[in-house]
């Protein structure tokens, strides 16, 4: 398995939308709108591959010169719990530090909170609802 940056609008990016749809939207009975996908532009897309198949994806959205928001984190349902999510996040943290960012933040779904806690993300603030499900904001300082 390898993790690498993919480019918005590429064939790989289009495949990553299918994975995001499968893992993050269909189970909620939702679908992406073109307005929602338009925000993917000018963001960093990090994907995990087994051969030429995308098995994991996450997006990094610059909020300011120090902070990236990690969003749309998804791993193929048959391959969850095998370390792919951890490898993508670790790759993303190094990638972000190299680009001069110091902080990550994210809105974690309730079921995913233990995953982010394993990777040393901290909960800040109260529960809130997005796409109809419970979330908490989490943060991590990624550089010294
Ligand atoms: C959440 C998700 C991205 C994690 O990716 P993953 O590849 O399954 O996770 P990993 O195998 O890399 O797990 C890393 C560590 O977190 C732990 N972990 C992962 N998911 C967990 C969970 N739901 N509960 C408790 N621990 C969990 C693993 O046991 C592992 O611990 P270890 O390193 O001590 O063995 C993935 O399961 C997924 O796509 N879930 C559905 C979509 C989703 O919820 N996305 C997040 C939206 S905020």
Each residue's pLDDT tens digit, 88-126: 999 999 999 999 999 999 999 999 999 999 999 999 999
Is the pLDDT at 52 greater than 90, yes or no? yes
Helix extents (H) in 45-136: 84-98, 113-118
User: What CATH class has 2-141?
Assistant: alpha beta
Cα dist from 81 to 41, 73, 76, 84, whole Å:
29, 14, 10, 7
- Please name the residues in contact with 45: beta carbons below 8 A apart, sequence gap of 6 or more: 5, 6, 7, 8, 13, 16, 57, 58, 59, 60
Give distance in angstroms: CA of 80 to centre of ligand 1: 7
Residue ranges per domain, the chain? Answer: 2-141
With a 6 A CB cut-off, is 130 part of the ligand 1 pocket? no
Atom of ligand 1 nearest to the CA of 24: 42
Q: Please state the φ and ψ torsions of residue 70, each to the nearest 5 degrees.
A: -90, 130
User: Is the pTM for the entire model greater than 0.95?
Assistant: yes
CA distances from 17 to 38, 39, 102 (A): 12, 13, 27
Give the strand order in the sheet containing 122-130. Answer: 2-6, 44-50, 53-62, 67-75, 103-109, 133-141, 122-130
Q: Which atom of ligand 1 is nearest to the CA of 108?
A: 48
pLDDT at 115: 98
**What pLDDT is stored for residue 144 in this prediction?**
77
Nearest CA to ligand 1 atom 18: 115
Q: Is the CB of 115 under 6 A from ligand 1?
A: yes
Measure 68 CA to ligand 1 centroid, in angstroms: 20
């Amino acid at each position: 398995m390898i993790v690498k940056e993919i480019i918005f609008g590429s064939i790989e990016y289009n495949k990553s939308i299918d994975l995001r749809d499968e893992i993050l939207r269909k189970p909620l009975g939702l679908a992406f709108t073109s307005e929602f996908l338009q925000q993917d532009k000018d963001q960093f897309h990090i994907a995990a591959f087994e051969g030429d198949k995308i098995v994991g994806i996450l997006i990094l959205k610059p909020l300011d010169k120090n902070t990236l928001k990690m969003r749309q984190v998804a791993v193929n349902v048959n391959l969850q719990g095998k370390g792919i999510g951890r490898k993508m996040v670790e790759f993303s943290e190094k990638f972000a530090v190299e680009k001069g960012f110091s902080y990550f933040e994210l809105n974690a779904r309730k079921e995913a909170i233990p995953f982010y806690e394993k990777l040393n993300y901290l909960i800040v603030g109260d529960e809130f609802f997005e796409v109809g499900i419970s979330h908490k904001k989490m943060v991590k300082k990624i550089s010294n």
